[in-house]
């Protein structure tokens, strides 16, 4: 893990996200975004995953936490549709903008937020099975979700 | 958790006496947050009949104790504290400070200035825009960035909408159930000269109201306002010599769940409200049915439904049918056991965004018999529950009249 992360330097992540309050705990997450990898802190000693990134494992207090790529599929657990909201690249509120929280199968207890693409509005509901992919908006990577056809939890 | 904290050595030892308000307004008040806070503090002191020399403690928030003390000419403080939104932690702290001898007469201050993004009137005030310069964003404190802000995450208001959706999903609830909270607030506000939204609301109007963050519409969200509240907190003994009747603090609870963010709250059985309510009743000799005034936070309607369930009015997921069963159709408001009321002042939804200071003020005025057109006859006990569902401060208080 450490090898591939070091491909993005501190200077590069600081330059890429000038308006984000980066620190030594969350910089790995943002380096991951630049590489289109969704990194969640996992404890090398007890296996517990946590988000947002903190310096020690909240379960066993070990400092052996490692930013670890999340792979695979998950389930939608929270849903809202925004009929208005702050301006953001690529977000058009002329149609209600879906915003969901997803729990990945491989990272129990951690939910991540994002929008859903490639789904009919009536299908975007609690229980929808999804996988994550990336979109670029104004040159910035955003994690989004798309449905796994035909699957519900 | 097996251990429930039930010790309550400060039971009935501390009193709230004076209240002061800088009236809440939706208009651009053209005033600073500090000016609003000062107005409310002076009125609270005058209400209680204490001088600036009598005050020896300040419990404040963004307008700090360090701002207020010299501004009010208070010669010395023996205790002070600055908290964060919403209102509750600074009241909890002040009560404990008085109970343990940190100070004798404590001024508790809360003020509110709505941001330039929340209305045209606010955006037109260049000083209000300047006010937010250099103020750290809440998310910045959490170390979050562009993928964590609305519309990309369920932070803040979007989180309440997402969990409102889960509430409908988990319990088969209907939007009408949120509507009862909003309609009750309007009907109550009609009796409150200090309320900013006093026009009655019908269920049809609620159900067809402009959708903002589905399933929450414009009537499910509180009203941004400018304003301030202040309170005088002192010992029960000292309160007897003051200008207004004492309201005794019977029990206090400020609980927080293990994971309380919008994303990581486990479910409705594991919110900070659950912890706060359980510990409050463990410390209280009075129970729900001993009380007449119920002031339950309503920044979003979904919050109030949860407080009703967590405080024990009804079971999980049953708050909607419970309100329906206690609905006074003629008056379009909730009535419990014939006389008891929910948010008689109109709450955040209709009095305005007081962050819970309004809920506290209303409970005090009701127990002092000073609530005017909305006075609940012979009100002797009140429940105040402040805060939402997530990583904000939550606090709950049982207040009572002296015997």
Beta carbons of B337 and B289 less than 8 angstroms apart: yes
Residues 6+ apart with CB under 8 A from A115: A97, A98, A99, A100, A142, A144, A145, B151, B152
Q: Residue written as tokens 């159900």?
A: B207
The whole-angstrom distance between A1's CA and the closest CA on chain B is: 22
Q: Which residues of A touch B167 (CB under 8 A)?
A: none
The whole-angstrom separation of Cα B104 and Cα B37 is 21
Cβ atoms within 10 Å, residue A143 = 21
Chain B residues whose CB is inside 8 A of the A138 CB are: none
Give dist(CA B317, CA B281) in Å, integer.
Answer: 20
Q: Let me know: does B362 contact B343? Beta carbons within 8 Å.
A: yes
Backbone angles phi, psi at B180, to 5 degrees: -60, -40
CB-based contact A86 B149, cutoff 8 Å? yes
Residue B329's SS3 state is: coil
Report residue B237 CA to chain centroid gap.
27
The dihedral region occupied by B179, where left means phi > 0, alpha psi between -120 and 50, and beta the remainder, is alpha
Q: Are strands B395-400 and B247-253 parallel, antiparallel or unpaired?
A: antiparallel
Please list every residue in chain A whose beta carbon sits closer than 8 Å to the beta carbon of residue B162: 78-80, 99-101
Q: Do B154 and A80 touch (CB under 8 A)?
A: yes
CB pair distance less than 8 Å for A101 and B263: yes
- Report the residue of B142, B214, B267 to disrupt the A interface, i.e. the one with the largest count of A CBs within 10 Å: B214
- Residue pair B237/B246 in contact (Cβ under 8 Å)? The answer is no
Alpha carbons B65 and B109: distance in angstroms, whole number:
9
pTM above 0.90, yes or no: yes
Give me the pLDDT at residue B29, please.
Answer: 81
Q: Mind telling me how many Å the CA of A75 is from chain B's nearest CA? A: 14
Average pLDDT, rounded, for chain A: 90
CB contact under 8 Å between A101 and B162, yes or no, is yes
Tokens of B134: 């250099």
Q: What is the mean pLDDT of residues A17-23?
A: 84
Q: Name chain A contacts of B163, Cβ cutoff 8 Å.
A: 78
Tell me which residue of B384, B393, B388 sits closest to B357, measured CA to CA.
B384
Mean pLDDT on A48-53: 92
Give the B-side interface with A, CB within 8 Å: 117, 139-140, 142-155, 158, 161-166, 169, 210-216, 263-264
Contact at CB, A142 and B147, closer than 8 angstroms: yes
Give the whole-angstrom CA distance, residue A66 versus residue A57.
10
Query: With an 8 Å Cβ cutoff, are A80 and B212 in contact?
Result: no
Q: Residue B10, CB half-sphere, CA atoms under 13 Å: how many? A: 22
B contacts of A20 (beta carbons < 8 Å): 144-146
Terminal alpha carbon distance of chain B: 35
Contact (CB, 8 A) for A72 and A102: no
Cα B6 from chain centroid (whole Å): 24
**Cβ-based contacts under 8 A for chains A and B:** 112
Tell me which chain A residue has its CA closest to the CA of residue B170.
A126
Indicate the burial class of B259 (C-beta count within 10 angstroms; 0-12, 13-18, 19 or more): middle
Smallest CA–CA distance from B166 into chain A, residue: A78
Q: Which of B150, B211, B215 sits opposite A86 (nearest CB)?
A: B150
Of B229, B268, B253, B175, the C-alpha closest to B359 is B229
Asked if B165's CB is within 8 angstroms of A101's CB, the reply is no
- Classify burial at A149, counting beta carbons within 10 Å of its beta carbon; exposed 0-12, middle 13-18, buried 19 or more: exposed
* Interface residues from chain A to B (CB-CB < 8 Å): 17, 19-23, 25-26, 30, 33, 51-53, 77-86, 88, 91, 96-97, 99-101, 109-115, 125-126, 140, 142-143
Q: How far apart are CA B403 and CA B99, in angstroms?
A: 20
Across the range A5-24, mean pLDDT stands at 86
Q: How far apart are CA B306 and CA B167, in angstroms?
A: 10
**Per-residue pLDDT at A1:** 44
Contact (CB, 8 A) for B343 and B296: yes
Task: Give pLDDT, residue B238.
Answer: 98
- Nearest CB among A17, A84, A96 relative to B146 is that of A17
Pairing of strands B79-82, A111-114: unpaired
Angle CA B154–B156–B68, to nearest 5: 160
Are A51 and B161 a contacting pair at CB < 8 A?
no
Closest B-chain CA to A79: B162
| Phi-psi sector, B347: left (phi>0), alpha (psi -120 to 50), beta | left
Please identify which residue in the block is written with the tokens 């450490």: A2
Over residues A138-153, mean pLDDT: 84
Chain B residues touching A86 at Cβ < 8 A: 117, 149-151
List, in order, residues 6 or more apart from B278 with CB less than 8 Å away: B4, B255
Please name the residue that has the structure tokens 């951690």.
A110
Distance between CA atoms of residues B257 and B275, nearest Å:
6
To the nearest whole Å, the CA of A84 is away from the closest chain B CA by 6
How far is the alpha carbon of B215 from chain A, nearest alpha carbon, in Å?
7
Question: How far apart, in whole angstroms, are the C-alpha atoms of residue A32 and residue B200?
Answer: 52
Closest-CA distance, B265 to chain A, in angstroms, reads 9
Tokens of B400: 């009572």
- What is the ipTM, given to two decimal places? 0.91
Q: Which residues of A touch B210 (CB under 8 A)?
A: 83
Say yes or no to pLDDT of A21 above 90: no
Q: Taking the alpha carbons of B130, B134, B135, B136 in that order, is the dihedral positive or negative? A: positive
Check CB contact under 8 Å for B212 and A115.
no
CA proximity to A97, closest of A122, A116, A73, A123: A116
The alpha carbon of B307 is separated from its chain's Cα centroid by a whole number of angstroms, namely: 12
Peptide bond into B86 cis (omega under 30): yes
Q: What is the pLDDT of residue A72?
A: 81
Q: Which residues of chain B are under the pLDDT cut of 50?
A: none
pLDDT at A18: 83
Model pLDDT, residue B146? 66
What is the CB neighbour count within 10 angstroms for residue A33?
24
Identify the sign of the CA torsion A78, B150, B299, B41. positive
């Amino acid at each position: 893990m450490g090898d591939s992360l070091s491909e993005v330097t501190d200077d590069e992540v600081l330059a890429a996200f000038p308006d984000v309050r980066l620190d030594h705990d969350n910089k790995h997450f943002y380096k991951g975004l630049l590489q289109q990898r969704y990194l969640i802190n996992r404890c090398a000693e007890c296996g517990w995953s946590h988000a947002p990134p903190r310096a020690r494992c909240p379960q066993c207090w070990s400092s052996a936490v490692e930013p670890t790529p999340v792979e695979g599929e998950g389930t939608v657990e929270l849903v809202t549709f925004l009929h208005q909201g702050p301006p953001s690249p690529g977000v058009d509120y002329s149609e209600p903008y879906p915003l969901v929280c997803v729990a990945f199968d491989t990272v129990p207890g951690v939910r991540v937020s994002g929008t859903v693409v490639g789904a009919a509005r009536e299908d975007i509901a609690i229980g929808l099975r999804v996988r994550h992919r990336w979109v670029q908006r104004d040159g910035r990577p955003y994690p989004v979700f798309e449905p796994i056809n035909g699957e519900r939890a | 958790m097996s251990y429930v904290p039930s010790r309550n050595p400060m039971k009935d030892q501390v009193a709230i006496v004076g209240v002061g308000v800088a009236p809440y307004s939706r208009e651009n008040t053209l005033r600073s947050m500090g000016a609003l806070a000062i107005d409310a503090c002076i009125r609270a002191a005058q209400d209680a009949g204490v001088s600036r020399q009598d005050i020896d403690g300040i419990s404040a928030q963004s307008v700090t104790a360090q701002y207020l003390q010299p501004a009010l000419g208070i010669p010395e403080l023996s205790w002070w504290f600055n908290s964060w939104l919403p209102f509750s932690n600074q009241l909890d702290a002040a009560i404990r400070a008085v109970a343990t001898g940190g100070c004798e007469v404590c001024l508790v201050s809360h003020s509110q200035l709505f941001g330039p993004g929340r209305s045209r009137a606010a955006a037109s005030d260049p000083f209000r825009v300047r006010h937010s310069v250099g103020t750290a964003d809440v998310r910045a404190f959490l170390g979050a960035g562009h993928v964590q802000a609305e519309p990309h995450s369920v932070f803040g208001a979007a989180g309440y909408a997402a969990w409102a959706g889960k509430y409908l999903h988990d319990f088969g609830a209907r939007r009408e159930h949120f509507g009862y909270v909003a309609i009750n607030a309007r009907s109550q506000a009609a009796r409150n000269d200090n309320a900013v939204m006093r026009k009655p609301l019908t269920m049809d109007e609620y159900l067809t109201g402009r959708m903002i963050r589905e399933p929450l519409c414009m009537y499910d969200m509180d009203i941004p306002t400018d304003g301030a509240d202040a309170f005088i907190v002192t010992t029960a003994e000292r309160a007897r010599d003051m200008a207004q009747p004492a309201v005794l603090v019977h029990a206090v609870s400020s609980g927080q769940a293990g994971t309380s963010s919008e994303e990581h709250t486990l479910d409705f059985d594991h919110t900070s409200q659950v912890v706060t309510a359980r510990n409050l009743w463990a410390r209280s000799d009075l129970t729900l049915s001993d009380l007449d005034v119920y002031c339950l936070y309503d920044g979003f309607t979904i919050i109030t439904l949860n407080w009703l369930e967590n405080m024990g009015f009804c079971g999980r997921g049953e708050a909607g049918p419970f309100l329906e069963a206690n609905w006074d159709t003629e008056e379009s408001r909730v009535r419990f056991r014939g006389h008891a009321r929910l948010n008689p002042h109109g709450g955040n939804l209709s009095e305005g965004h007081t962050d819970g200071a309004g809920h506290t003020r209303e409970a005090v005025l009701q127990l002092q018999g000073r609530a005017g057109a909305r006075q609940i006859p012979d009100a002797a006990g009140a429940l105040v529950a402040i805060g939402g569902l997530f990583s904000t401060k939550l606090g709950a208080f049982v207040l009572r009249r002296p015997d």
